[in-house]
Structure 1
Amino acid sequence: MDAVPVALAAAGWLVGPGLALAYAVGLRGISALGMAPVFSVLLVSVTAVVGQKAGQTWSVWLVLGVTAVTVVLAVVASLLLRRVAPPRQSDPPRTLLVAAAALVPAMAVAWFVVVRGFGQPDELSQTFDAMFHYSAVSYILESGSASSLTINSLGNPSTAAGFYPAGWHGVTSLVVLTTGTDIATATNMVSWAIAGLIWPIGSSLLVRQVVGRNTAAMAITPVLSVAFTAFPWGLLSFGVLWPNALSLALVPSGLAAVLAATKTAKDDTIGFRRAITLAPLVLVACAFAHPNAVFSLAVLAVFPFGTAVLRYALKTWREGQAWRGVVAVLGTLAVLFGLWWFVAHAEAFRQVRQMYWPPFETPANAVGEALLNATNGRPALWALSVLTVAGLVVAWRLVNHRWLIAAAAASTFLYVLTAAINRPDTQKFTGYWYNDSFRLAAMLPITAVPLAVLAVLLIAGKVAGLFPAGSSRLALLRTPTALALLVVVVLLPLTSGFYAKTNAAALAGTYTKADPKAGTLVDDTEEAFLPKLAAAVPKDAVVANNPWDGSAVMLAEVQRKALYPHADIAWSAEQEYLSKNLDNAANDPRVCAAAKKVGVRYLLLGNKTFWPQDQRQKWYTGIAEPKAPGAFELVAQEGSVKLYRLDRCGSTTLP
């Protein structure tokens, strides 16, 4: 319960700023709520970049101020363009009420999953990438800069500045600044908000665009969306890929806007002109969250876009101007091929394209896993998969929804390439997701959610036919919303609580049940040492550490500056020398000169338990017990975890 205010702050930052902007640009109801997270990430990310360029310190008030100014400008622009793009008409109050109420069980299921998966609100992720992400949030709080143009260096002066998507880090740092909580708790509550709120409302907007004004669909979409394992829970445990999880949670809203822009939505709630105008903003927001989302959105958007082009071609053929349709189709194919060829050969993506993950199964098994929502060896979600497959049949019968089948097939195809093949020739298709099956498996639920909803609506319709017409007692039960909810209630025992325990187990794999063979990044002894570490080290001090023993995460948790905040970053000459010789500070004058230059005042020794087989551990052989007494003074200790102060460097060489 202590974490509830932090969870509310996470939800507030991910929805609040964007919701104000969504209403300012003329969106209403479900469309405003669905686009709110996209706009929130955009506002946070752009504010960070502009603020850093303008020399402004990162703060809650900076984001709120920029949001207020942006909203005012958007209101003025909307008023000036009122005739061109009037505000969208909202859905009926009953539909909006049901859509809002439906989020409650989804958030509750997600809360159960994180409680069972994390164990404690401040539980740390025992993963390699967690080192960087925890350190990045700590760097933002220490430096006052959350810019995506500077965060990749983590404040290390020898690392060249470059773009790294910092949308997730900016939001998490705002949660810390708002509540005063620790970084781990803020991270975990942002994870809950992504899975239990952002993903369900984005899925609701997408379903709204697919099925139109349908109260029954709004009632069941949120809770169905949180039942899938591959996303959101897969990306909140593997890696750990927090920025990817945030970015992919925005894709359903982006795809909903694509349906509006291509006029393939049913009873569009966004608007053609508004969708065209907002398209660049959606792409920028996704890129700031993580560029993977841009590529995921591009793949899925091809099919509604292709549907619109084919409709235009058929229209021109009927009107006796078939040549226009031919030009449109051939031109579209040429543009799509050109874009793919450019990206497939762009030097900027070369390193990402060449990431290699060995295939681990046959193509047939990979296809079966995709159909059973059991990707990457996870348990099959049988009841949910039956609905998804049934939804494919429904989508085929409803011609306007056939693009969903093609989009689902494309996601499956990309997953199969990474899980079962992964050769240099396939990497031109999958390289933009690091050729990683986990990232591509996470795309599958984006189309699976609306397909499952279509199946539930069909079943509800069939059940309605079983009730006799004209009975007043059964009138309420025969409503589509009541029957759809009845089908979902039946799913509750069939899915063991919407697979909450299955998803919690997937989450716990890198938290409370981290693999002991791979080691633990921060063990219980190190966690118990954190209060002593915070008390002993001044906030402006630099602490030498071996990131492989969990010390980088420990220092990030207490918001102290680590000499090595991550295990794999380009270090300066002084940092490289210290990494191999700091333990000889009593005898080596060069160590003293290097330590003075980089400002090292402390040495932290943790328990070396993480990835013991990794050869990169040899880079830090000098971060060890002092070879000779005199230079270091033991300040604090908890078991084998020790903190030294470097107060007499070169002491044995003094006269």
Structure 2
Amino acid sequence: LDRASSGTGSGAMDPLPIHARAIGEILGSAPMGTTTAWVLAVLTVIGLYVIARTLRRTWWILGMYLVGALFYMVVSSWPPGTFRTMLTGVWYNDSFRLAALLPVVTLPIAVFGAEWLVWRLRALLEYLATLTPEQARSLPSSMAGLARLRLPAPARVVSVWVVIALLGVAAQGGTLSQVQQRLQSIFAVSKTSDLVDEDELKVLQQVDGKVPQGGVVVGNPLTGASLVYALAGRQALAPHIFGERTEMEQLLLDHWDEAAYNKDVCPAIRKLNAYWALDFGTKTVIPTEDPFPGLADLAAGTAPDIEVLATSNKARLVRTTACD
């Protein structure tokens, strides 16, 4: 799940351009190749300048930023290996997760930059207001025009707030708008959706009418079947890919589709009230070895004593009749 482990052709990508790109993404608040947030980039650079001048008081903010930046740069540009794992552990050995943390360490820096910019603007307006007409004429034409305005104190305060508002509005473009578009495309339900596609959603929407309250649904969470709890209000036998399983739960996850001929399965089905299963095929949201072999025959269409309760193309909600 990162760029560093991907490549084209027979040779690996040169690490130097990847490192440089990662640094640019950090400074530009544009992780994972998103559009550079130019307003935030400028404020971040100014903020780093301010912190460098006040390092005795703000060293910890800079340290937090550098740690986050280092982790992101390593994970997004170094190939997987001992160094990466030693530095970030298992969970944060994923550039997407570290990209989500970058705003947390970048925002304080950008705030320092914005504060410096606003105070400099206010100081400039106050300075221009004190100039005499003769002094104002000696300034460059653009500055002389501001000096001639002679803004009163309330107007100067309002102008500062206007600048703050403009910075806030400008910061909404770039990365934010692109991220919104990406999220919309990622989470849109279509015929080719990774976790739950249109057919699977149609089946899930029928579950509450087919499975009684208290019924437990067997399914492979890697195919999105565990969303039966969120979308249909029925308990999933395996609500997550990982987790502690009881002996009976593990038995069903390994052998549910053998109920017709495996004498150990039906007692567990009756005990857990797990007569139902979702067959969402073999396509999983991440490539992995199947940790739920108890649905393999069901997906292959060879499991005996199966009653189909709802279907949409290849997605099915079924019930075993072997334990009636």
What is the rounded CA distance, in whole Å, between the counterparts of 1:386 and 1:500 in structure 2? Answer: 16
What is the rounded CA distance, in whole Å, between the counterparts of 1:534 and 1:622 in structure 2? Answer: 25
What is the rounded CA distance, in whole Å, between the counterparts of 1:627 and 1:367 in structure 2? Answer: 53
- The equivalent of 1:539 in structure 2 is 213
Structure 2 residue identity aligned to 1:381: A
- The equivalent of 2:121 in structure 1 is 463
Q: Percent identity?
A: 26
The answer to whether structure 1 residue 635 and structure 2 residue 309 are counterparts is yes
Superposed displacement of residue 393, structure 1: 0.8
1:380 to 1:544, Cα distance in 2 relative to 1, 3 A: same
SS at match of 2:97: helix
1:627 to 1:420, Cα distance in 2 relative to 1, 3 A: closer
The answer to whether structure 1 residue 424 and structure 2 residue 82 are counterparts is yes
Superposed displacement of residue 372, structure 1: 1.6
1:618 to 1:454, Cα distance in 2 relative to 1, 3 A: closer
The partner residue of 1:437 within 92, 95, 98 is 95
- The equivalent of 1:622 in structure 2 is 297
- The equivalent of 2:160 in structure 1 is 483
What is the rounded CA distance, in whole Å, between the counterparts of 2:101 and 2:226 in structure 1? Answer: 32
Listed as ranges, the matches of 1:103-118 within 5 Å are none
Superposed displacement of residue 571, structure 1: 4.4
Which has more radius of gyration?
2
After superposition, the CA RMSD in angstroms is 3.6
SS at match of 1:427: helix
What is the rounded CA distance, in whole Å, between the counterparts of 1:474 and 1:568 in structure 2? Answer: 65
1:520 to 1:555, Cα distance in 2 relative to 1, 3 A: same
Superposed displacement of residue 576, structure 1: 4.6
- The equivalent of 1:414 in structure 2 is 71
What is the rounded CA distance, in whole Å, between the counterparts of 1:377 and 1:473 in structure 2? Answer: 44
SS at match of 2:48: helix
Contact 1:584 1:627 survives alignment (8 Å): no
1:474 to 1:616, Cα distance in 2 relative to 1, 3 A: farther
Superposed displacement of residue 392, structure 1: 0.8
1:387 to 1:543, Cα distance in 2 relative to 1, 3 A: same
Bigger helix share: 1
What is the rounded CA distance, in whole Å, between the counterparts of 2:223 and 2:83 in structure 1? Answer: 38
Mean CA deviation greater in 531-540 or 394-403: 394-403
1:628 to 1:510, Cα distance in 2 relative to 1, 3 A: closer
Listed as ranges, the matches of 1:87-106 within 5 Å are none
Superposed displacement of residue 491, structure 1: 6.1
The partner residue of 2:178 within 502, 522, 525 is 502
Superposed displacement of residue 444, structure 1: 3.1
Structure 1 residue identity aligned to 2:70: F
Aligned residues: 291
Q: Deviations over 1:157-210 (max 9, x none)?
A: xxxxxxxxxxxxxxxxxxxxxxxxxxxxxxxxxxxxxxxxxxxxxxxxxxxxxx
- The equivalent of 1:367 in structure 2 is 23
Contact 1:395 1:402 survives alignment (8 Å): yes
- The equivalent of 1:599 in structure 2 is 273
What is the rounded CA distance, in whole Å, between the counterparts of 1:411 and 1:612 in structure 2? Answer: 27
- Give the TM-score taking structure 1 as reference length: 0.39
Contact 1:418 1:437 survives alignment (8 Å): yes
SS at match of 2:276: strand
Q: Structure 1: any 5+ residue segments left out of the alignment? A: 1-237, 239-355
Q: Deviations over 1:476-508 (max 9, x none)?
A: 2312x6415424415635x56464312203433
What is the rounded CA distance, in whole Å, between the counterparts of 2:5 and 2:286 in structure 1? Answer: 24
1:423 to 1:469, Cα distance in 2 relative to 1, 3 A: same
- The equivalent of 2:143 in structure 1 is none
Superposed displacement of residue 621, structure 1: 0.8
Superposed displacement of residue 449, structure 1: 1.8
Contact 2:252 2:269 survives alignment (8 Å): yes
1:411 to 1:562, Cα distance in 2 relative to 1, 3 A: closer
1:549 to 1:491, Cα distance in 2 relative to 1, 3 A: closer
Contact 1:550 1:607 survives alignment (8 Å): no
SS at match of 1:615: coil
The answer to whether structure 1 residue 396 and structure 2 residue 70 are counterparts is no
Mean CA deviation greater in 419-428 or 531-540: 419-428
Listed as ranges, the matches of 1:152-191 within 5 Å are none
